[in-house]
Amino acid sequence: MDTKDQHGRTRSSSAGQVTQVAPSARAARSRKRRPHLLLAAAAAAAFTLTAGLATPLNPAPQQAQAKDDGKKTLTVAVAQSVDSLSPFLAQRLLSTSIHRLTYEYLTNYDAKDNHAIPAFAEKWEPSADKLTWTYTIRSNSKWSDGKKATAEDAAWTFNKIMSKEGTATANSNFVTNFKKVTAPSPTKLVIELKKPQSTMAALDVPIVPKHVWEKVDDISKFNNDKDFPVVGNGPFVLDDFKVDQYVKLKANKNFWRGAPKFDEVVFKTYKDQDAAVAALKKGEVSFVAGQPALTPAQANGLKGESDIKVNNGPGRRFFAIATNPGARTQDGKKFGDGHPALLDKRVRQALFLSVDRKTIVDKVFQGNAVEGAGYIPPRFSEYSWKPSAEQELKYDPKRAAQLLDEAGYKKKGGKRVGKDGKALDFRILCHATDPNDKAVGKYLKEWWGDLGIGLKVNCLDDVSVPWYAGEYDLAFDGWSVNPDPDFVLGIHTCAALPEKAKESAATDNFICDKKFDELYEKQLAEYDPAKRAGIVKQMESWLYDSGYMNVIAYPNAVEAYRTDQIKSLTTMPSAAGNIYGQDGYWSWWSAVPASGKSSSDGGSSTGVIIGIAVAAVVLAGGGALIALRRRSTAEDRE
Residues at the site binding another protein, with contacts judged by CB under 8 A: 34, 37-38, 40-41, 43-45, 47-50, 53, 273-274, 277-278, 281, 294-298, 300-301, 359, 363-364, 366, 430, 432-433, 435, 438-439, 441-443, 445-447, 457-459, 461, 604-605, 608-609, 623, 626-627, 630-631, 633-638
Of 2 and 356, nearer to another protein (C-beta) is 356
Of 295 and 493, nearer to another protein (C-beta) is 295
Residue 637 Cβ, how far from another protein at the closest point, in Å? Answer: 6
Of 117 and 297, nearer to another protein (C-beta) is 297
| CB distance 112 to 321 below 8 Å | no
Q: Is 439 helix (H, G, I), strand (E, B) or coil?
A: helix
Residue type, 119: A
DSSP characters over 255-323:
-TT---SSSEEEEEE-SSHHHHHHHHHHTS-SEE--SSPPPHHHHHHHHTSTTEEEEEE--SEEEEEEE
Of 48 and 568, nearer to another protein (C-beta) is 48
| CB distance 315 to 554 below 8 Å | yes
Nearest CA to 340 out of 323, 322, 326, 354 is that of: 326
Residue 294 Cβ, how far from another protein at the closest point, in Å? Answer: 7
Q: What is the DSSP letter of 598?
A: P
Of 199 and 298, nearer to another protein (C-beta) is 298
Of 121 and 560, nearer to another protein (C-beta) is 560
Residue 431 Cβ, how far from another protein at the closest point, in Å? Answer: 10
Of 23 and 623, nearer to another protein (C-beta) is 623
Residue 631 Cβ, how far from another protein at the closest point, in Å? Answer: 7
Of 48 and 391, nearer to another protein (C-beta) is 48
The radius of gyration of the chain from alpha carbons, rounded to an integer in Å, stands at 26
- How far is the C-alpha of 361 from the C-alpha of 338, rounded, in Å? 28
Residue 78 Cβ, how far from another protein at the closest point, in Å? Answer: 17
| CB distance 171 to 181 below 8 Å | no
Per this entry, what is the length of the chain?
638
Of 121 and 278, nearer to another protein (C-beta) is 278
Please list, in sequence order, all residues whose beta carbon lies within 8 angstroms of the beta carbon of residue 292, skipping any fewer than 6 positions away.
11, 14, 15, 79, 273, 434, 435, 436
Residue 429 Cβ, how far from another protein at the closest point, in Å? Answer: 12
- How far is the C-alpha of 565 from the C-alpha of 286, rounded, in Å? 6
Of 446 and 518, nearer to another protein (C-beta) is 446
Of 275 and 525, nearer to another protein (C-beta) is 275
Residue 309 Cβ, how far from another protein at the closest point, in Å? Answer: 16
Residue 552 Cβ, how far from another protein at the closest point, in Å? Answer: 15
- How far is the C-alpha of 537 from the C-alpha of 384, rounded, in Å? 7
Residue 43 Cβ, how far from another protein at the closest point, in Å? Answer: 8
- HSE at residue 457, side-chain half, CA atoms within 13 A, is 21
Sign of the Cα torsion 199, 205, 207, 212 reads negative
Residue 610 Cβ, how far from another protein at the closest point, in Å? Answer: 12
Of 239 and 461, nearer to another protein (C-beta) is 461
Residue 52 Cβ, how far from another protein at the closest point, in Å? Answer: 10
DSSP characters over 516-546:
HHHHHHHHHH---HHHHHHHHHHHHHHHHHH
Residue 12 Cβ, how far from another protein at the closest point, in Å? Answer: 13
Please list, in sequence order, all residues whose beta carbon lies within 8 angstroms of the beta carbon of residue 33, skipping any fewer than 6 positions away.
16, 17, 19, 461, 462
Of 464 and 541, nearer to another protein (C-beta) is 464
Sign of the Cα torsion 147, 151, 156, 157 reads positive
Report the C-alpha dihedral over residues 53, 58, 59, 61, rounded to 10 degrees.
Answer: 100
- Helix/strand number for the chain, H first, E second: 19, 23
- HSE at residue 113, side-chain half, CA atoms within 13 A, is 4
Residue 608 Cβ, how far from another protein at the closest point, in Å? Answer: 6
Of 325 and 338, nearer to another protein (C-beta) is 338
Sign of the Cα torsion 451, 452, 457, 458 reads negative
Beta pairing partners, 318: 479
- How far is the C-alpha of 530 from the C-alpha of 535, rounded, in Å? 9
Residue 414 Cβ, how far from another protein at the closest point, in Å? Answer: 15
| CB distance 12 to 31 below 8 Å | yes
Beta pairing partners, 189: 135
